[in-house]
Structure 1
Amino acid sequence: MDGSVARPRPYLALSLRLATAGTLATMSMLVKVAGERGVELTELIFWRQAITLVCVAVLLAAMGRLADIKTKRLGAHARRAVFGIVGMFFVYGAVMLLPLAEATALSFTAPFFAVLLSVLLFKEKVGRYRWGAVALGFAGVVVLTQPAFGLGSETPISLIGAGVALVAAALVAVISFQIQDLNKTEAPWSIVFWFTAFTTPLMALALPFVIGPHDADTWGLIIAMALCGALAQILLTSSLRFGSAGVILLMDYTSLLWATWYGWSIFERTPPTTLWLGAPLIVAAGLLIAWREKQLAAAKARRIETMEL
Structure 2
Amino acid sequence: MKVEDSSAKPALGIALKLSAIFLFTCMSAIIKATADDVPAGEAVFFRSLFAIPVILIWLAQRGQLSVGLKTKNPMGHVWRGVFGTSAMALTFSGLGLLPLPEVTAIGFATPIFTVILAAIMLGERIRLFRVSAVLVGLIGVIIILWPRFGGTEMDKMATLGAMLILAATMLRSLVQIHLRQLAQTEHTAAIVFYFSVTATMLSLLTAPFGWTVPDANTTGLLISAGVIGGIAQIFITSSYRFGTVSMLAPFEYTSMLFAIILGYFVFDELPTALMLTGSSLVIIAGAIVIWRERQLGMERAKVRAVSEPKS
Give TM-score, length-normalised by structure 2. 0.91
- Structure 2 counterpart of 1:94: 94
Deviation at 1:151, TM superposition (A): 2.4
SS of the equivalent of 1:70 reads coil
* Compared CA separation, residues 138 and 214, structure 1 to 2 (3 A): same
CA distance in 1 between partners of 2:212 and 2:159 (Å): 29
CA distance in 2 between partners of 1:7 and 1:134 (Å): 35
Q: Give the 5 Å matches for 1:36-55.
A: 36=36, 38-55=37-54
- Structure 2 counterpart of 1:277: 277
Deviations 1:131-168 (A, max 9, x none): 11111011111111221135267999822222211211
The answer to whether structure 1 residue 220 and structure 2 residue 208 are counterparts is: no
CA distance in 1 between partners of 2:205 and 2:93 (Å): 20
Deviations 1:105-125 (A, max 9, x none): 100111111111111112211
Structure 2, gaps ≥5 residues long: none
Deviations 1:28-76 (A, max 9, x none): 111100113x111111110111111122123323443221121121111
CA distance in 2 between partners of 1:143 and 1:209 (Å): 35
Count of paired positions? 307
CA distance in 2 between partners of 1:286 and 1:179 (Å): 19
- Structure 1 counterpart of 2:119: 119
- Structure 1 counterpart of 2:230: 230
SS of the equivalent of 2:241 reads helix
Structure 1, gaps ≥5 residues long: none
SS of the equivalent of 2:227 reads helix
**Aligned partner letter, 1:41:** A
The share of aligned pairs that are identical, in percent, is: 32
1:145·1:157 contact (CA, 8 Å) conserved in 2? no
1:3·1:187 contact (CA, 8 Å) conserved in 2? no
CA distance in 2 between partners of 1:155 and 1:272 (Å): 15
Deviations 1:148-207 (A, max 9, x none): 135267999822222211211111111112222222222211111111222323333544
- Structure 1 counterpart of 2:19: 19
- Structure 1 counterpart of 2:186: 186
Deviations 1:64-107 (A, max 9, x none): 32211211211111111111111111222222221110110100
**Aligned partner letter, 1:89:** A
Deviation at 1:306, TM superposition (A): 4.6
Give TM-score, length-normalised by structure 1. 0.92
SS of the equivalent of 1:67 reads helix
- Structure 2 counterpart of 1:135: 135
Decide which moves more: 192-201 or 58-67.
58-67
- Structure 1 counterpart of 2:296: 296
